Amino acid sequence: MPGPSRETIPAPAQPGAIALIPDAPDREVWHRDNGLIAVRNVTRPTITPFLPKGKGTGAAVIVAPGGGFLGLAIEKEGWQIARYFADHGIAAFVLKYRVLPTPASQAEFADQLTRAIRGEKVAMASPPEDTPPEALADGLAALRYVRGHAGQWGVDPARIGFMGFSAGGFLTRSVVENAGADMPAFVGPIYPNMAAMKVPDNAPPMFVAIAADDFLLARAGGPKLIDSYRAAGKSVEFHLFSSGDHGFGPGAPGTPTEGWLDVMRRWLRTRGIIKE
């Protein structure tokens, strides 16, 4: 069965990573999931900048990978996404946020995850129903940090967005619900929790992408998140792809999800976030 490997890998280089809680202990376990780099047991949150070469557009986005709040698909849903935006003049910051503890042994983690997927009861925590408070605190801290240091990266503090995938999409929703006056300029929850949400009066424009065969859409009973935004009179761009399953990342080859990042970038241009 595809999934996490049973072996760990050395922690990869993360040039320029900025610790959001500098004195926190580091208990990270790095491994590969379906061949791509992933990390779990994150206790020391960081943001890693991916900056445009040459002059950027002045826009920026914080990128939160998914992983059920048990780990982070940091290569597929973090670094790959950030490189895309940086290549198109948008500064990107990959958020490595705190997740729930899992077994220190990679083999034990892989075994318990496999059993949990089969429906067996295991000692390891299950993915929570909503964003844990530590992850939310890290998301809000990342937004404050990037906005507070925007000038050093050539970023306009009024054009900083927040996006996330799967659990990172849950986190993105939670940021909207809890940011208050520090709201991001735009948000992009990608295959997120599609249940209804309480939309604040200052909610930013939202871009949502999900596949019709994604279990999160079925679990919510439809795109209720979209209904909430529309009922509140807020701007929402919604792309429902006919296939692509859950976790398509930058786009699943051979499915309509290919090229969705280009669609989001055009949307940012129409919203005036990208000024080229």
Tell me the residue range of the domain where 257 lies. 48-96+127-270
CATH code where residue 262 lies: 3.40.50.1820
Give the Cβ contact number of residue 205 at 10 Å: 21
In a domain, 104, yes or no: no
3 state SS of 172: helix
pLDDT at residue 88 is higher than 80: yes
In a domain, 166, yes or no: yes
Q: Count the domains in the chain.
A: 1
Which of 220-245 are b and which e, b meaning 16 or more Cβ less than 10 Å from the residue's Cβ? Answer: beebbbbebbeeeebebbebebeebe
pLDDT (tens digit per residue) in 29-68: 999 999 999 999 999 999 999 999 988 999 999 999 999 9
pLDDT (tens digit per residue) in 91-123: 999 999 999 999 999 999 999 988 887 889 999
- Closest C-alpha to 188, from 211, 204, 177, 199: 204
In a domain, 253, yes or no: yes
pLDDT at residue 2 is higher than 90: no
In a domain, 187, yes or no: yes
Give the residue-averaged pLDDT of 147-174. Answer: 98
pLDDT (tens digit per residue) in 18-32: 999 999 999 999 999
Tokens of 174: 């939670």
Please state the length of the chain. 276
In a domain, 119, yes or no: no
Q: How confident is the model at residue 1 (pLDDT cuts 50, 70, 90)?
A: very low
In a domain, 4, yes or no: no
In a domain, 148, yes or no: yes
Q: Could you give phi then psi for residue 18, rounded to 5 degrees?
A: -115, 120
Give the Cβ contact number of residue 134 at 10 Å: 17
The whole-number pLDDT of residue 240 equals 98
In a domain, 33, yes or no: no
For the question of whether the overall pTM of this predicted structure is more than 0.75, the answer is yes
